[in-house]
Structure 1
């Protein structure tokens, strides 16, 4: 986890075996923001599953469709991701600005 004077101000990484979750964004209301598709960026890998989402629009319609599909998939596994979001919020309150 990194907290910096930047935009976004937090970077989180969780890794357990083949599962990796990397997120950049705020440390507040992560679950609600994610449900609304308002996360700065999120990358999820688990075995052959590789999904990336960013709040920023893609350059092409095809790339945007892929981002939208990735978000839909990631939101479908939000219950699995929620404990990580909770842990990020909890730990971020203990992290000083770098």
Structure 2
């Protein structure tokens, strides 16, 4: 997957389309990401020793990875990405519009 934790992403589909946030968690098995401030739902919590008040809280839920696009750090614009390499050996993620490597994959 091309999206990692702490990447800045733009939501391109769904009820939060157009919002940006940072990736908090990536679940590679289900192909879902949790983005800060996106897909917030209300959840009821019972009273307990950890939560003596109980009540309704806001929780961020994961969305499918196909619904987000990484935002370019240089100019703040969401851009398409590509990858090259044979299999899992040397995977390199690059910007499709310029061909330059992205972030930690830079060599």
TM-score of the superposed pair, with normalisation by structure 1:
0.32
Q: Which has the higher contact order (CA 8 A, sep 6+)?
A: 1
Please identify the structure whose Cα radius of gyration is greater.
Answer: 2
Higher share of residues assigned strand? 2
TM-score of the superposed pair, with normalisation by structure 2:
0.30
Higher share of residues assigned helix? 1
